[in-house]
């Protein structure tokens, strides 16, 4: 399996609102910590090392 | 330079005695092997060679083992090797066995683990034992072997000052309390520790990474009732350091380790009142204790580019250095000795070409790289190098308290296991693809019960052909080598560890108990080819 970069979340607006909602009222520091926990939880759920490597590459490329 | 001790001795084990070499008149006396340095690695090297009947001279600039236990954790593989040398049992008898570890963050225990060692091994996963005792047991075994005729010569207060490395020997200048003398060695083994003077004499490199941190060790005796467990704190609430470790040693001694950070006043921190302040905060006001040994260490992860330089071969800390997290220093050095001993023995008696020693270089650099990688990763987890790595580290710790998935990410040291020499030149291709991965070519043989004892008791020291559920001859000749055959029934742990889905198997096992090749049946030409390869002839 390869990294799925096609739309995959059935309820994009709802998901996005929930993501922002999770950060609401948090200091920058607390937000950063929350993001870190989220990355770890999601990464574990995916589990597949090759896909995770692809995800790192995709995320790093968007930055450039 | 005067011959003053650089450190205090815990045990005086090889007092200076005048050697006949110092009075030689016909030029310097030549020895087949000289070992420089009488730490654990040097003494083990002398023992390995001496037990093979190879004359070996060991030179150390002190008369015994230094005060202060650096290493405390000795791993199963080290104990297996020590057992082969005949000194494993006293180590186990004296050592402290432990299986349970607890991890704390701030004022909370976030989880507890049990090493759950696999059944059916002679040796435990780890013991805790002060390094001076480990070294003492090795030297006591040397004394016993000497009494039985092993040609080992330990020379205390013999400092190597210069070497002249020739194509086929090395000339060594030595200082003693009676003044200087010279000897020659066909082979010189450099076991002179992390700051290796030999490396400097030969202008050889030692590159790697410096970690900007200081750790305070306090070995203490106390009456308090802590269990025999490994406790590790990240950012402890008692604020004695950025991390802290509590671990039990024999004789009621506890190892406590505090991470102090980079910018510290070393002298100030080593004052007893300051050490006690940190210990009191950790242990509480009511615990009485005595300080046994204290020290501050910094560390580096680095290795030499090459371990063999013609007739000079480096082993132990002289060749590679790791952080203490994971207990990979002495443990990996003992694996160097295990790897080098038989190769040097076969080269010296003419069975194998000199090029076999290049495989020591390749295999043990592979081992060192694995150890450096593991120990650097532990260090990066314990001492985050940036703000974001600190954020992720603490996210792992927070999650680990509630979610099992995060616990394997917590890294306070991945405890030492031997490496597999995957893909390296002495291995023959795996002809038993259904066999277990853990016994593939290059792997160290896992132990298993056999008869009244254990499988590893029957392996090692020389090449062995092991038939599992397949009969092999008691002895065959291959490449000038008498191969000892051992046929064992296919049942129990041996079946799980050596057969897997295969019906039968024949293993060629090296003198250091690593697998050289394996086949589904007794295939003499394939075995002869594998022996040739394992002797470095290809
Ligand atoms: C705090 C700490 C904790 C550690 N914990 C562990 C652990 O739990 N488990 C583990 O496996 N490892 C551990 N280690 C690492 C372990 O202590 C070393 O890897 C081990 O001592 C290396 O042994 P060696 O024989 O290579 O070198 P050394 O022990 O350094 O011995 C070198 C010897 O060479 C001699 N010498 C030096 N120069 C000369 C000369 N010119 N002529 C003659 N002789 C000379 C020295 O006097 C010394 O006797 C720890 C290290 C530290 C600092």
CA distance B412 to B245: 9
ipTM: 0.95
Q: What's the confidence (pLDDT) of residue A9?
A: 97
Strand (E) or helix (H) holding A23 = helix A12-23
Contact B336, B364 (CB under 8 A): yes
Residue to mutate (ligand 1; options B324, B375, B412, B413; most atoms within 8 A of CB): B324
Question: In the structure encoding, which two tokens stand for residue B131, read together?
Answer: 């390094």
Q: What's the confidence (pLDDT) of residue A63?
A: 58
CA of B248 to the centre of ligand 1 (A): 21
What residue ranges of chain B have pLDDT lower than 70?
none
DSSP H helices in B387-472 = 387-402
Q: How much of chain B is in helix, strand and coil states, percent to nearest 5?
A: 30, 30, 40
CA distance B235 to B259: 10
Task: With CB atoms and an 8 Å threshold, state whether A40 touches B388.
Answer: no
- Residues within 8 A of B (CB atoms), A 8-37 only: 32-33, 36-37
Query: String of b and e for A12-48 (b: at least 16 CB within 10 Å)?
Result: eeeeeeeeeeeeeeeeeeeebbebbbeebeebbeeee
Parts of chain B belonging to CATH 3.40.30.120: 437-534
Average pLDDT over all residues of chain B: 95
Mean predicted confidence (pLDDT) in A34-51: 98
CA distance B236 to B246: 12
Task: With CB atoms and an 8 Å threshold, state whether A44 touches B406.
Answer: yes
Half-sphere exposure of B148 (CA within 13 A, CB side): 11
Residue pLDDT, tens place only, B172-207: 999 999 999 999 999 999 999 999 999 999 999 999
Least Cα distance to B156 among B285, B14, B269 occurs for: B14
Question: In the structure encoding, which two tokens stand for residue B29, read together?
Answer: 């006396």
Where do the domains of chain A lie?
A: 27-64
How many Cβ atoms are within 10 Å of B250's Cβ, its own excluded?
16
Q: How many CB pairs under 8 A join A and B?
A: 27
CA of B194 to the centre of ligand 1 (A): 7
B447 lines ligand 1 (CB under 6 A): no
What are the phi and psi torsion angles at A24 (to 5°)?
Answer: -60, 135
B409 to chain A: closest CA residue: A40
Of A32, A37, A44, the CB nearest to B398: A37
Parts of chain B belonging to CATH 3.50.50.60: 5-94+124-206+301-357
Q: What's the confidence (pLDDT) of residue B538?
A: 82
> Å from B140 to nearest chain A CA?
49
Please report the DSSP string for B62-125 in residue order.
Answer: SSEEESS----EEEHHHHHHHHHHT-HHHHHHHSEE--EEEEEETTEEEEEEE--PPSS-SS-S
Please report the DSSP string for B150-213 in residue order.
Answer: --EEEETT-EEEEEEE-SS-EEEEEEETTEEEEEEEEEEEE---TT-HHHHHTT---EEEEEEE
Class of domain B437-534: alpha beta
> Å from A57 to nearest chain B CA?
18
Task: With CB atoms and an 8 Å threshold, state whether A33 touches B391.
Answer: yes
Residue A64 confidence (pLDDT) above 90 = no
- Look at strands B515-519 and B475-478 and give their pairing: unpaired
Q: Domain spanning B5-94+124-206+301-357: which superfamily?
A: FAD/NAD(P)-binding domain (3.50.50.60)
Between the CA of residue B452 and those of B64, B458, B483, what are the distances in Å? 38, 12, 24
Residues of B engaging A, defined by a Cβ cutoff of 8 Å: 388, 391-392, 394-396, 398-399, 403, 405-406, 409
Q: Which residues contact B210 (CB under 8 A, 6 or more apart)?
A: B298, B300
Least Cα distance to B414 among B368, B363, B371, B443 occurs for: B371
CA of B74 to the centre of ligand 1 (A): 14
């Amino acid at each position: 399996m390869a990294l799925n970069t096609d739309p995959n979340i059935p309820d994009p607006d709802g998901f996005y609102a929930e993501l922002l909602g999770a950060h609401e009222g948090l200091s920058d520091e607390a937000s950063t910590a929350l993001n870190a926990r989220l990355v770890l939880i999601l990464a574990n759920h995916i589990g597949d090392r090759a896909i995770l490597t692809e995800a790192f590459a995709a995320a790093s490329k968007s930055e450039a | 330079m005067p011959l003053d001790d650089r450190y205090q001795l815990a045990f005086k084990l090889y007092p200076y005695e005048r050697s006949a070499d110092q009075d030689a008149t016909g030029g310097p006396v030549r020895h087949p092997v000289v070992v420089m340095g009488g730490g654990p690695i040097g003494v083990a090297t002398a023992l390995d060679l001496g037990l093979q009947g190879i004359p070996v001279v060991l030179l150390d600039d002190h008369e015994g083992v230094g005060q202060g236990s650096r290493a405390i954790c000795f791993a199963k593989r080290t104990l297996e090797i020590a057992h082969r040398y005949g000194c494993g049992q006293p180590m186990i008898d004296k050592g402290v066995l432990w299986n349970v570890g607890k991890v704390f963050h701030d004022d909370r225990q976030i989880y507890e683990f049990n090493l759950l060692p696999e059944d059916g091994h002679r040796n435990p996963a780890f013991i805790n034992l002060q390094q001076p005792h480990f070294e003492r047991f090795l030297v006591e075994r040397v004394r016993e072997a000497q009494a039985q005729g092993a040609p080992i010569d330990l020379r205390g207060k013999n400092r190597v000052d210069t070497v002249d490395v020739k194509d086929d020997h090395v000339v060594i200048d030595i200082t003693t309390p009676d003044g200087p003398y010279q000897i020659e060695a066909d082979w010189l083994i450099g076991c002179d520790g992390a700051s290796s003077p030999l490396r400097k004499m030969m202008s050889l490199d030692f590159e790697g990474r410096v970690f900007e941190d200081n750790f305070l060790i306090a070995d203490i005796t106390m009456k308090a009732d802590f269990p025999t467990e490994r406790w590790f704190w990240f950012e402890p609430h008692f604020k004695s350091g950025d991390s802290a470790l509590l671990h039990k040693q024999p004789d009621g001694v506890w190892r406590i380790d505090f991470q102090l950070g980079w910018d510290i006043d070393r002298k100030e921190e080593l004052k007893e009142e300051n050490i006690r302040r940190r210990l009191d905060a950790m242990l509480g006001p009511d615990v009485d204790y005595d300080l046994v040994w204290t020290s501050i260490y910094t560390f580096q992860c680095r290795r030499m580019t090459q371990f063999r330089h013609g007739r000079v071969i480096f082993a132990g800390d002289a060749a590679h250095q790791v952080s203490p997290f994971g207990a990979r220093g002495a443990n990996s050095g003992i694996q160097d000795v295990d790897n080098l001993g038989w190769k040097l023995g076969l080269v010296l008696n003419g069975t194998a070409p000199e090029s076999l020693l290049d495989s020591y270089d390749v295999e043990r650099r592979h081992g060192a790289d694995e150890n450096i990688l593991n120990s650097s990763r532990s260090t990066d987890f314990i001492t985050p190098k940036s703000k974001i790595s600190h954020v992720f580290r603490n996210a792992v710790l927070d999650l680990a308290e509630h979610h099992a998935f995060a616990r394997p990410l917590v890294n306070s040291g991945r405890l030492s296991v031997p490496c597999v020499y995957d893909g390296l030149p002495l291995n023959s291709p795996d002809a038993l693809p259904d066999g277990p991965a853990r016994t593939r070519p290059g792997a160290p043989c896992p132990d298993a019960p056999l008869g009244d004892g254990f499988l590893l008791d029957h392996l090692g020291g020389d090449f062995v052909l092991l038939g599992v559920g397949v009969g092999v001859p008691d002895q065959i000749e291959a490449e000038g080598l008498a191969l000892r055959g051992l046929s064992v029934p296919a049942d129990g742990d041996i079946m799980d560890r050596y057969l897997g889905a295969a019906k039968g198997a024949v293993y060629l096992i090296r003198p250091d108990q690593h697998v050289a090749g394996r086949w589904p049946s007794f295939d003499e030409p394939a075995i002869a080819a594998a022996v040739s390869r394992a002797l470095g002839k290809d």
